[in-house]
């Protein structure tokens, strides 16, 4: 009976393998003792029946727990089961990289996603959350940015949440809706909860969790990062907008076309965080002034700017401005690419909204992220 109670506790905590092993072990021990049966055949028959009954019990427990895990959005993301109550050993290292589809359901809603897991690597690794632009998908965005290639080379995870056509007809993230901008609400809450689930299920370093996006995804990334400065160490905004700079569709169209005309147009974050902005000077969809506003939210006032002018391997001139604090640490970085429209700079033609001629925005963001871990 004590073993049965312990097995029930293990099952409730999601440790189904441990529960099943305990029940089987208890059964084997009990059957190894003499019971005074009339014949060995009777004992063997009873043993088989008991084993079948035990198997049915464990299968029933697994079926009862599975809906609970699914309802919490943890199905497929549950941590590895442990054989004992000793400190958990590091989970097995995967032999090769994987790029899989999944679905997450949390308190604020459901979204599909794709997750890139790098190949064999020791210890904990960084996580980059990537938010696609309008009309894009997680797979399309991954192909265009080439972020998975960098992730395999440098050993970090990449999470690509996907917007639904039901939530937005063009599959844009609703960065301009008040209910999708604030902490623990709407799409910001979904993305944050999905990120937490991935951190809990994989070997992620919680100080190296970053978020980036393109266009509407860039604006959403700004919202999420500023709503969760305790979760995301830095943010990358490509052809996007500052956090909270529109609270309805009309204002969104205005700032996209004209840019923020006053500081009051955007809801300033309470705590500035490390930010890298990449924008095309010829962007006709999102005014480049929005990139400047995003850098202002990073708290560049009082930081020392360093301006570097160069030409990419593809032939596009660009201005890179790095903003350092008194200790020389770069807290913000802006890339203005001449001749670049509304497209991911340095991306590949395998995805949409990319321009391979520009400097490599994915590598620039990764370098910036790794230099800015979460403090505390």
* Dist. CA 155–CA 367, nearest whole Å: 13
Residues 61 and 131 in one domain: no
Tell me, yes or no, whether 65 lies in a domain.
yes
Tell me, yes or no, whether 268 lies in a domain.
yes
Residues 331 and 248 in one domain: yes
**In this structure, how many other beta carbons lie within 10 angstroms of the beta carbon of residue 66?**
13
Structural domain containing residue 61: 2-30+42-71
* Dist. CA 132–CA 244, nearest whole Å: 18
Tell me, yes or no, whether 376 lies in a domain.
no
Active-site position among 32, 56, 103, 215: 215
What is the model's pLDDT at position 70?
A: 39
Tell me, yes or no, whether 36 lies in a domain.
no
Handedness of CA 240, 242, 248, 250 (dihedral sign): negative
Question: In 3-state terms, what secondary structure has residue 353?
Answer: coil
Residues 19 and 159 in one domain: no
Tell me, yes or no, whether 92 lies in a domain.
no
Residues 136 and 231 in one domain: yes
DSSP track, 173-241: --TT-GGGTSTTSHHHHHHHHHHHHHHHHTTEEEEEEEEEEETHHHHHHHHHHHH-TTT-SEEEEES--
- For the segment 281-327, what is each residue's pLDDT rounded down to a tens digit? 999 999 999 999 999 999 999 899 999 999 999 999 999 999 999 99
What is the model's pLDDT at position 323?
A: 98
Question: In 3-state terms, what secondary structure has residue 367?
Answer: helix
* Six-digit token string for 194: 């999905």
* Six-digit token string for 367: 């370098």
Tell me, yes or no, whether 294 lies in a domain.
yes
Residues 148 and 240 in one domain: yes
* Six-digit token string for 118: 């790098």
Residues 229 and 308 in one domain: yes
Tell me, yes or no, whether 152 lies in a domain.
yes
- In the chain, how many domains are there? 2
Which H or E run includes 56? helix 40-71
Residues 201 and 347 in one domain: yes
Predicted structure pTM score: 0.75
Confirm if 28 and 47 have CB atoms less than 8 A apart. no
Residue 64: phi, psi to the nearest 5? -75, -30
* Dist. CA 105–CA 91, nearest whole Å: 25
* Dist. CA 345–CA 337, nearest whole Å: 8
56 labelled catalytic: no
Residues 63 and 194 in one domain: no
Residue 262 DSSP class = S
| Structure-derived torsion over alpha carbons of residues 43, 46, 50, 52, reported in degrees to the nearest 10 | 120
Tell me, yes or no, whether 90 lies in a domain.
no
| Mean pLDDT value across the chain | 82
Residues 254 and 294 in one domain: yes
User: 71-80, 168-177, 262-271: which range is least confident on average?
Assistant: 71-80
Residues 218 and 331 in one domain: yes
Residues 124 and 262 in one domain: yes
What distances in angstroms separate CA 366 from CA 180, 247, 360, one per listed residue? 26, 30, 10
- For the segment 179-205, what is each residue's pLDDT rounded down to a tens digit? 999 999 999 999 999 999 999 999 999
Residues 178 and 239 in one domain: yes
* Dist. CA 256–CA 103, nearest whole Å: 31
For residue 304, what is the domain's CATH number?
Answer: 3.40.50.1820
In this prediction, what percent of the chain has a pLDDT beyond 70? 74
Residue of 337, 327, 325, 265 whose CA lies nearest to 299: 325
The pLDDT of residue 123 is above 90: no
- For the segment 322-375, what is each residue's pLDDT rounded down to a tens digit? 999 999 999 999 999 999 999 999 999 999 999 999 999 999 999 999 999 998
- For the segment 126-144, what is each residue's pLDDT rounded down to a tens digit? 999 999 999 999 999 999 9
């Amino acid at each position: 009976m004590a073993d049965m109670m312990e097995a029930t506790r293990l099952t409730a905590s999601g440790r189904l393998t441990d529960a099943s092993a305990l029940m089987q072990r208890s059964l084997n021990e009990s059957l190894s003792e003499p019971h005074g049966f009339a014949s060995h055949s009777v004992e063997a028959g009873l043993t088989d029946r008991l084993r079948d009954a035990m198997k049915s019990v464990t299968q029933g427990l697994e079926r009862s727990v599975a809906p609970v895990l699914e309802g919490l959005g943890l199905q497929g993301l549950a941590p590895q089961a442990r054989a004992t109550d000793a400190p958990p050993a590091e989970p097995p290292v995967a032999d090769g990289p994987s790029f899989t589809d999944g679905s997450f359901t949390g308190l604020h809603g459901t979204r599909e996603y794709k997750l890139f897991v790098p190949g064999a690597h020791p210890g904990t690794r960084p996580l980059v959350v990537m938010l696609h632009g309008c009309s894009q998908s997680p797979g399309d965005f991954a192909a265009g940015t080439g972020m998975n290639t960098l992730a395999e080379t440098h050993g970090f995870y990449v999470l690509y949440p996907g917007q639904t056509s039901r939530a937005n007809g063009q599959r844009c993230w609703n960065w301009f809706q008040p209910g999708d901008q604030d902490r623990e609400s709407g799409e910001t809450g979904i993305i944050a909860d999905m990120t937490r689930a991935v951190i809990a299920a994989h070997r992620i370093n919680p100080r190296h969790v970053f978020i980036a996006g393109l266009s509407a995804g860039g604006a959403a990334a700004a919202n999420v990062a500023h709503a969760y400065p305790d979760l995301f160490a830095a943010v990358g905004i490509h052809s996007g907008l500052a956090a909270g700079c529109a609270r309805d569709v009309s204002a969104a169209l205005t700032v996209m076309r004209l840019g923020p005309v006053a500081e009051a147009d955007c809801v300033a974050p309470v705590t500035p965080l490390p930010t890298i902005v990449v924008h095309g000077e010829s962007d006709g969809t999102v005014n480049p002034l929005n990139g400047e506003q995003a850098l202002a939210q990073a708290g560049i006032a009082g930081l020392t700017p360093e301006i570097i002018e160069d030409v990419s391997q593809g032939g596009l001139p660009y201005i890179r401005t790095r903003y350092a604090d008194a200790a020389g640490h770069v807290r913000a970085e802006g890339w203005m690419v001449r001749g670049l429209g509304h497209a991911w700079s340095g991306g590949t033609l395998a995805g949409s909204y990319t321009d391979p001629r520009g400097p490599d925005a994915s590598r620039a963001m990764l370098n910036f992220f790794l230099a800015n871990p979460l403090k505390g």
